[in-house]
Structure 1
Amino acid sequence: MPNLTDKTALVTGASRGIGRAIAERLAREGALVAVHYGTGGEAAGQVVDGIRAAGGRAFAVQAELGPADGVDTLFESLEAQLEEHTGSTRLDILVNNAGLMGTALPGEITGEWFDRMMAVNAKAPLFVVQRALSLIPDHGRIINISSGLTRFAAPEQVTYAMTKGALEQITLHLARHLGERRITVNTVAPGSTDNGSALFQIPAARAAMSQLSAFGEVAEPAAIADVVAFLASADARWITGSFVDTSGGTLLG
């Protein structure tokens, strides 16, 4: 079983959905978790409170990752709070989960829309990793949350899929770059996962999404969090540069 006692972790976009489940799972394994949020301060506070109530350790950090100063804002808060809680700015685990999702058919895509999606989903994670590397020790972990949509055609999601494809390239190339330091870098690619949005409460929509999976179900966020916890653990020390399909068999066709 994963054991992350004495480890520190940053999970971006952790106020709800998959990010929240990842933060909660890493905390259960003993990690001190920085719960990042962009605008959902109340929700992030609830995540932190829930982790602490369960005996775990967590704190919230706020930053909008689209704007140019977003990464600097994130790390100013992160480093200060790591120092306060641990006496060090060491960051053992980075989970790039924050992302912007939306639909636009190929003929409806605008330059503004494309730039915003790319800024949040691809540019921000790259520079989050760049900034984090001075804090991550040898044998650290970087886990990028992508999507099965990079392998599964859905024309209305072409922009989103492009940005997640770029994120997967960060995994591939940085895994090689950081190999000498034994820092593993891996991609986790969920399929249809109940993130708490109203769409999943519509029976017909949920039934349609369930049929995409080989299991005939929509995933719960905890299923993705379990895989992330494994990749963050010492047991995954020989896995790097991998694309881990957590779509419930959606990519089987």
Structure 2
Amino acid sequence: MAENSTESTIYRLNVSVFDSFGNPVEKAEVCIGDDCRESPALFELEKGCYAINATYELAFNTTELCLESDTDFGLYLDFKVLKVTVVNCSSSPLPAIVNASAVGLSFEKRTENGLTTFNTSFEVISMRISAEGYVEKSLSVNLTENPEIIVVLLEKKVTFYLGNDENYETLKKLESDGESIELFRVGEEVDFENRSLIFLANLNQSVCEDIASKTNATLVSFNASLGYNDTNISKYWSTEVRRIYGIW
């Protein structure tokens, strides 16, 4: 008498991922449990019902399949494309790292000539953009309202706006030596809106309030008439203010 076989039958499941137009999605990831493979993905499984997850960047779909024989299965992703352009204040493209995330998914890309794109099935995604020498920016994007965005990054630079000539020569030397500062006297034209950290020295209250109304930058004010007289104040603020105020 033949012995009863206890071996389970193994079936082949071949999963391919397509976009909403029926085009294959290259480099999409297919997961069944903790087993993740690149589409088209071949699995060998016992008879049973399985949850199949497919992701491509920030596009996601999941379905359940009950396997009873060798099966070819197509999973479809419906996604939109977000176009992201990263520039500096002069509108020059920046090489930047862009991290996008939504509902537990995240994906990171580098810009080429300031441009990158993300594919997502979510309407709202969070983004974090960084570039060397620039202040990191975080924002939330609604794709229905903004399928294309331009992100302006501000330089990591202290802007000194001086009410008189005190410390001017010391600061000017630091600026010439390549320190991350820029120097202006009161009355000179400054684009305060596109500055990240502004040090206001020896200016009256009305001037400070006017500048504050024109910018979202961090403002630090100092008035020597209050009795503080330190010949190293310029170097101190250019190197220590970022640490003290938690900037950058």
In proportion to residue count, which structure has more strand?
A: 2
Verify same fold: TM over 0.5.
no
| TM-score using structure 2 length | 0.29
| TM-score using structure 1 length | 0.28
In proportion to residue count, which structure has more helix?
A: 1
Higher relative contact order (CA 8 A, sep 6+): 1
